[in-house]
Amino acid sequence: MEEKKKTNKKFIIIISALVIVVLIYGGYKFIHSLSHESTDDAQIEANMNSIIPHVGGYVQKVYVSDNQKVKKGDTLFTIDQNDYLVKLEQAKAQLAGAESQVNAAEASIGSYRANAAASTAQVSSASGNIETARIKLGRATSDFKRYENLYLNHSITAQQYEQALATKEEAENHLKILQSQQKAASSQSNAANSQTTISEKQVNVAEANVKSAQAMVDAAQLSLDYTIVLAPIDGQLSNVSLQAGQFVQPGQSLFYLVNTEIKWIVANFKETQLDKMRVGQKVIVEIDAYPGEEFDATITNFSPATGSKFSLLPPDNATGNFVKTIQRLPVKIEFTKDNDAKKLALLRSGMNVDVDVHLK
């Protein structure tokens, strides 16, 4: 009987101890919840650059291997350059041809301008000669009229009259010749000016062809440069499933280069946890892969929409069988500079973490 009482007493003590522990733990969690929000729905994130070639061709040589660390500007692999070298030479030949057309057009402009200047000088000279011929014609005409009156009065001989008439006709013919010469020189000047204008337009067209050919050279050179694929940033490569002789297409994603220097956390909090959370609040981070290690961080920003809204098929709640579910909002959390750089270097994108936000 006494043993039964002792057993009951021990049982009561154990139950009481358990109740006290539960109450203490529950009280601690309640008090903790007043100034903290936590979640285990969180992962480490990092920028993952997809290595994509700009040009297609057969891989000539691969210079990297799986999970290798590289620096910005390091050569990852090269593509066979033969086709692109040929295209570059073709573009350079077209550029040389276009430049020769410009030189020829400019040379013809100089020739036509010289002809136009000479014709203009001839027109000016003819104008002066015509003015002189008109003066002589006017004088010869006056002399002829005077001699004609004298001849009608029988004051002069027929020979003198005929000589005055001949002088007048000679002046008239000389004036006509000079006018014809002026007209011919003017026509030549107009033709030379027209040819000059045409040549100037040909120069403009040839210069445009040079620019087009230069653009083709630049494009061919750029394509040739793209056959050498370089690392865009410092980081660590993923699995490099690429071999020499393999044909790659432009725009084809081949492997990834992960930025190992900059990391952050995306934590998905329930919408009911966001009431007191603010940007800049302190966060304690625990990594599942490294238990016992804590990292300091802060809230950087909140997503503009819940995670479900960014899914391929977002839920449509405008149906008759609607069931309300608590949504989660992605929150970006960044590590502070107080953390040990060596420990941060151990973290990898995609690792699960627990975050504890200090609300006060």
Q: Is the pTM of this model over 0.95?
A: no
pLDDT score at 312: 78
DSSP secondary structure code for residue 219 in this structure? H
- The answer to whether 357 and 283 have CB atoms below 8 angstroms apart is yes
- 203 and 97 in a common domain: yes
Q: Residue 339 is part of a domain; what is its CATH number?
A: 2.40.30.170
Phi-psi region at 328: left, alpha or beta (left = phi > 0; alpha = psi -120 to 50): beta
The residue among 269, 258, 240 whose CA lies nearest residue 350 is 258
Instruction: Give me the domain span that covers residue 68.
Output: 53-80+227-252
- 233 and 220 in a common domain: no
Question: What is the pLDDT tens value at each position of the chain, 360 positions in all?
Answer: 556 556 666 777 777 778 777 776 666 565 555 678 999 999 999 999 999 999 999 999 999 999 999 999 999 999 999 999 999 999 999 988 888 877 777 666 655 555 555 556 565 665 666 677 677 767 767 766 776 676 677 667 777 767 767 777 776 777 677 666 666 666 665 555 566 566 566 667 777 888 888 999 999 999 999 999 999 999 999 999 899 999 999 999 999 999 998 999 999 999 999 999 999 999 999 999 999 899 999 999 999 999 888 887 777 766 667 778 889 999 999 999 989 989 999 999 999 999 999 987
Q: Residue 161 is part of a domain; what is its CATH number?
A: 1.10.287.620
* Cα dist from 98 to 111, 210, 268, whole Å: 20, 5, 62
Measure the CA–CA gap between 282 and 356, rounded to whole angstroms. Answer: 8
Measure the CA–CA gap between 130 and 95, rounded to whole angstroms. Answer: 52
- 286 and 157 in a common domain: no
For residue range 335-357, what is the model confidence (pLDDT) as tens digits? Answer: 999 899 899 999 999 999 999 99
Answer yes or no: is 169 within a domain: yes
For residue range 66-98, what is the model confidence (pLDDT) as tens digits? Answer: 999 999 999 999 999 999 999 999 999 998 888
Q: Among residues 236, 252, 268, which one ends one of the domains? A: 252
Residue 228: strand, helix, or coil: strand
